[in-house]
Structure 1
Amino acid sequence: MMRPTLKLKNLALGALLIGGATYFTACDMNDDGVSNDKARLQIALTDDPGDYKEVWIDVQDVRINVSDADDQNWTSLKGVKTGMYNLLDLVNDKDTVLADAEIPSGKLSQIRLVLGDNNYIITNAGVKLPLTTPSAQQSGLKLNIHQPVVAGIVNKLTLDFDVAKSIVEAGNSGKYILKPVIRTVLEAVGGNLKGYVLPDSVQTAVLVIRGADTIASTYTAPGAWQLRALEAGTYALHFLPTDTTFKAFVKEGVTVTTGQITTVDTVRLQKR
């Protein structure tokens, strides 16, 4: 057991006050205070280059289906970032997150990417041309996934939009049709840490530190804590009780593995 230096403690607390709340998610809890029946799903959009100056799509909704029924059980994801996206801003491994929501764990069968009417391209000559959408896709482009989503970790589904194959010129009319060709990739993002601090009546800040940098942070509530989507690697955990009659505690050498939840041994705070 050791006490972090005052400088490191102040740096860590500063980072916690700035960003720590974003790492704690209220959800259904098991006996350890950690979600055991929900999976966190991120939907990201990326693109392969095409021979245009700009390609804009009008994202209106993202819907998911966890059943095998095509005509029912569709649910809109909460917090979808609707609006206009230039696909050519998302090339060379860049992406943007369209949605980040909790869904039932199990199998993700299908998703629908629902587009509005304001889709268009700007040619290399600077001409703006509208993109029409086939009537069969007015209810959204359906993509088959049929893969498991795991509870307790971040599951990232990337929609890789192939612009070159998705935009079709209608004969010699000068009109263009949007027939999206999208490859889907579902993968775990980073790994999770979880644990428990006693006494659970003492709210404690938990900080993940690599070198002099605070990577992530949260508070216990009550006693239980969890941090998600951490990059694989080895970290030090700093436990800073808000009740200053208890000593801070540091646990070195905590390993994070992509796609896994690592349970850290219970920390028992000691009085000064």
Structure 2
Amino acid sequence: MKQLIAALGLSLGLMLSGCGGGTDGTASASNTGMVALSLTDAPTDHEEITGVFVTFTGIKYKYAHDDNGSEDNESEEKWQQIDLNESRTIDLLTLQDGNTTLLQHVELPAGEIEKVRFVLDTTKCYIEILGEPTPLNVPGGEETGLKSTNGFIIPQGGTVNLTADFDVRKSIAPRGHTGLYNLRPTIRLVNNIEVGEINGTVNVDLNGSKAILYAYSDGTWDDNETNTTEDGLRFTNAVVSTEVKDGEFALHWLTTGIYDLVLVEHNI
């Protein structure tokens, strides 16, 4: 059971504190730049899920324009895939509370990247339900890759530091009453130099319950967010979320703006 405790508005622009470097001059080749891409995650509403293991094999990058300067299309030959040195299986639930892990650090031609996709070995993706492994279905994860929002610029002779927020809470959905789950994330990609965090405290007696704080872009919160979608999800328009621990919270990887903060009690 979930109970809405409070909603309030705060301006992140007055509290911005950088989460990491964005661009520097470490690359040496004149027509190339470096991409440092890390992963992060947010708390999940599914109390029974104790692990989310995703196996990454590579990253696909799509430049905004082709060699002739015309707008690119969606054909696969327009994507540049950079495989990892070896596949990596990562438990996304270990990447909460602002924690990250570096997935790829690679030199690429300088220019505007329009889209990014994460390529997986779907046969090695699974979740743990109360410690027991359960297969995880990842539609398109191996063939086309999981899509991210937002593009970025690879600076000539510099480095761009990026963080991809998988947000497992919104990405995992039950497959009806089969006891199985789908992973269908919309991965939020941010430039580390453009983000900050909101820190604070709340004075609420939870009586042993867990409280999750959700951050909504100004004007996107309404009471319908408490309703359950067909995928069994709630609070789907929240940008980020975090668990309140000992009355303190920190919301990470937010771009400057005004946010509505919504505090929800999860009875456990």
Place the TM-score, normalised by the shorter chain, in its bin. 0.5 to 0.7
2:116–2:151 contact (8 Å) kept in structure 1: no
User: Deviation digits for residues 153-203 of structure 1, max 9, x if unmatched?
Assistant: 2201211011111111011111111112311102349xxxxxxxxxxxxxx
Alignment counterpart, residue 33 of structure 2, candidates 33, 39, 49: 39
In 1, the alpha carbon distance for the partners of 2:103 and 2:141 equals 23
Taking a change above 3 Å as real, the CA distance of residues 135 and 78 of structure 1, as seen in their structure-2 partners, is: closer
Q: TM-score, normalised by structure 1?
A: 0.53
Higher relative contact order (CA 8 A, sep 6+): 2
In 2, the alpha carbon distance for the partners of 1:64 and 1:80 equals 17
Structure 1 counterpart of 2:3: none
1:69 aligns with 2:73: yes
Is the partner of 1:98 in helix, strand or coil? strand
Indicate the structure (1 or 2) with the bigger Cα radius of gyration: 1
2:55–2:88 contact (8 Å) kept in structure 1: yes
Taking a change above 3 Å as real, the CA distance of residues 172 and 96 of structure 1, as seen in their structure-2 partners, is: same
2:27–2:34 contact (8 Å) kept in structure 1: no
Is the partner of 1:134 in helix, strand or coil? coil
In 1, the alpha carbon distance for the partners of 2:135 and 2:83 equals 29
Structure 1 stretch displaced more, 167-176 or 142-151: 142-151
Unmatched tracts of structure 2, length 5 or more: 1-24, 65-71, 195-268
- Equivalent residues in 2 for 1:34-183 (5 A)? 36-50=30-44, 51=46, 52-67=49-64, 68-71=72-75, 72-77=77-82, 79-80=84-85, 82-116=87-121, 117-123=123-129, 125-135=130-140, 138-183=143-188
2:27–2:159 contact (8 Å) kept in structure 1: no
1:64–1:110 contact (8 Å) kept in structure 2: yes
2:34–2:108 contact (8 Å) kept in structure 1: yes
1:41–1:157 contact (8 Å) kept in structure 2: yes
Residue 78 of structure 1, CA deviation: 5.9
Is the partner of 1:152 in helix, strand or coil? coil
Q: TM-score, normalised by structure 2?
A: 0.54
What is the count of residue pairs matched by the alignment? 159
1:81–1:99 contact (8 Å) kept in structure 2: no
Structure 2 counterpart of 1:234: none
In 1, the alpha carbon distance for the partners of 2:152 and 2:26 equals 24
2:118–2:141 contact (8 Å) kept in structure 1: no
1:79–1:100 contact (8 Å) kept in structure 2: no
Taking a change above 3 Å as real, the CA distance of residues 145 and 101 of structure 1, as seen in their structure-2 partners, is: same
1:82–1:98 contact (8 Å) kept in structure 2: no
Kindly report the root-mean-square deviation, in angstroms, between the aligned alpha carbons of the 2 structures. 2.6
1:78–1:101 contact (8 Å) kept in structure 2: no
Residue 126 of structure 1, CA deviation: 2.1
In 2, the alpha carbon distance for the partners of 1:85 and 1:141 equals 15
Taking a change above 3 Å as real, the CA distance of residues 127 and 65 of structure 1, as seen in their structure-2 partners, is: same
In 2, the alpha carbon distance for the partners of 1:79 and 1:171 equals 34
In 2, the alpha carbon distance for the partners of 1:139 and 1:41 equals 21
2:60–2:117 contact (8 Å) kept in structure 1: yes
